[in-house]
């Protein structure tokens, strides 16, 4: 039986592993994909907003060529961290159920059954895009994940959303000579757009280089067009591809199956912020999943602190099985 099983090998899960390693607990990290599976799938050419030192875990220096690291630099950095601390990670194994026993937990994956005295869910939010129930949103030309712009040269690409992700994708597509249309339900782009991105996107819209429809929603996605609605009327625009970039929400199924209560207002797993232990003794949350729907509240910069908090509280409780 492990002292701790950690679900998810993102930055938060790895930080829990490092803290467990330093306190000499027995532990295992279970990851349904590859190392830092979410970051690996971020937009191909993305750069982080944070400077490298704010993404470091375990005190290992993160050296980047520029002030803001790229996706690839981050993936390589976290892989190096796994090697440096020799963190035990089971890859390509998905946790499907957590069952409480009298004095331990059974953690069931799609292939194996494990037992542990404590379980940490560090499952992030990137696997489940926010709901978007527009007719046609299941067409193959619709994607909830932006990757790269090059196949859209001289094609009509629509972006739904008004945040950093939509703005960055719109600019990259525009500079790769796609015909870009931005569709946003509010009257203006989100205030939270980074200060070095906002003037660029606003000026491209002002110059008519990117077409933007504000206060507008998509009513239907068709094979070669989109039906849009604003000011009480509808109209149709030519379209080849749609990116719906309206954010993500954590999948709370596992937490619920383990008996963790979820705050119905914000989707937050009920937990003590001082220890990150949930209402189920011995089950903890780490990283962005702890913030529920408000996933801008916990990111790598602050979620990386969770590992030490959790392991310190497990040790303070005497690391006793439940």
Ligand X SMILES: Cc1cc2nc3c(=O)[nH]c(=O)nc-3n(C[C@H](O)[C@H](O)[C@H](O)COP(=O)(O)OP(=O)(O)OC[C@H]3O[C@@H](n4cnc5c(N)ncnc54)[C@H](O)[C@@H]3O)c2cc1C
What is the binding site for ligand X (CB under 6 A)?
7-13, 30-33, 37-39, 42, 46, 48-50, 94-95, 122-124, 126-127, 165, 254, 287-288, 299-301, 303
| Tokens, residue 275 | 């220890």
- Of residues 87 and 228, the one with the C-beta less far from ligand X: 87
Q: Which is nearer to ligand X, 3 or 172 (CB)?
A: 172
**Cβ proximity to ligand X, 129 vs 136, nearer residue:** 129
* Smallest distance from ligand X to CB 255, Å: 10
In this complex, which beta carbon is closest to ligand X, that of residue 11 or of residue 282?
Answer: 11
Residue placing its CB nearer to ligand X in the complex, 98 or 212: 98
What is the three-state SS of the chain?
CEEEEEECCCHHHHHHHHHHHHCCCCEEEECCCCCCHHHHCCCCCCECCCCHHHHCCCCCCCCCCCCCCEHHHHHHHHHHHHHHHCCCEECCCCEEEEEECCCCEEEEECCCEEEEEEEEECCCCCCCECCCCCCCCCCCCEECCCCCCHHHCCCEEEEECCCHHHHHHHHHHHHCCCEEEEECCCCCCCCCCCCCCHHHHHHHHHCCCCEEECCCEEEEECCCEEEEEECCEEEEEECCEEEECCCECCCCHHHHHCCCCECCCCCCECECCCCCEECCCCEEECHHHHHCCCCCCCCHHHHCCHHHHHHHHHHHCCCCCC
Calpha distance 244→134 (Å, rounded): 11
Shortest approach of ligand X to residue 184 CB, angstroms?
18
Residue 107 or 142: the one with the smaller Cβ distance to ligand X is: 107
Smallest gap, in angstroms, from Cβ of residue 38 to ligand X?
Answer: 3
Q: How far is the CB of 279 from ligand X (least distance, A)?
A: 20
Closer CB to ligand X, residue 164 or residue 181? Answer: 164
Shortest gap between Cβ of 201 and ligand X (angstroms)?
15
Nearest distance, CB of residue 119 and ligand X, angstroms: 11
Pick between residue 9 and residue 210 the one whose CB is nearest to ligand X. Answer: 9
Between strands 27-30 and 283-285, the pairing is unpaired
Tell me the closest approach of the beta carbon of residue 258 to ligand X, in angstroms.
12
Distance in Å, CB of 91 to ligand X, minimum = 9
């Amino acid at each position: 039986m492990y002292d701790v099983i950690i679900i998810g090998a993102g930055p938060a899960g790895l930080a829990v592993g490092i803290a467990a390693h330093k306190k000499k607990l027995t532990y295992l990290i279970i990851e349904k994909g590859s190392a830092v599976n979410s970051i690996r799938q971020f937009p191909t050419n993305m750069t982080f907003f944070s400077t490298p030192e704010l993404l470091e875990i375990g005190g290992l220096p993160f050296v980047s060529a520029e002030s803001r690291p790229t996706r690839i630099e981050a993936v390589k950095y976290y892989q190096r961290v796994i090697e440096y601390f020799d963190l035990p990670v089971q890859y390509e194994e998905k946790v499907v159920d957590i069952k409480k026993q009298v004095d331990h937990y059974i953690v069931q994956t799609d292939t194996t059954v494990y037992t542990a005295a404590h379980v940490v869910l560090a499952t992030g939010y990137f696997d489940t895009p926010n709901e978007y129930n527009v007719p046609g949103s299941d067409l193959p030309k619709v994607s909830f994940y932006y990757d790269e712009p090059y196949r859209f040269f001289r094609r009509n690409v629509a972006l739904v959303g008004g945040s950093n992700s939509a703005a960055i994708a719109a600019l990259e597509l525009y500079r790769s000579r796609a015909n870009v249309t931005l569709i946003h339900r509010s009257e203006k782009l989100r205030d939270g757009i980074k200060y070095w991105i906002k003037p660029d996107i606003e000026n491209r819209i002002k110059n008519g280089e990117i077409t933007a429809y504000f206060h507008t929603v998509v009513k239907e996605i068709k094979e070669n067009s989109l039906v849009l609605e604003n000011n009480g009327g509808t109209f149709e625009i030519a379209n080849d591809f749609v990116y719906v970039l309206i954010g993500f929400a954590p999948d709370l199924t596992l937490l619920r199956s383990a008996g963790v209560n979820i705050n119905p207002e914000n989707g937050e797993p009920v937990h003590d912020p001082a220890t990150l232990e949930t209402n189920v003794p011995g089950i903890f949350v780490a990283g962005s999943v702890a913030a529920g729907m408000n996933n801008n509240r916990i990111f790598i910069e602050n979620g990386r602190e969770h590992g030490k908090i959790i392991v310190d509280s497990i040790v303070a409780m005497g690391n006793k099985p439940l």
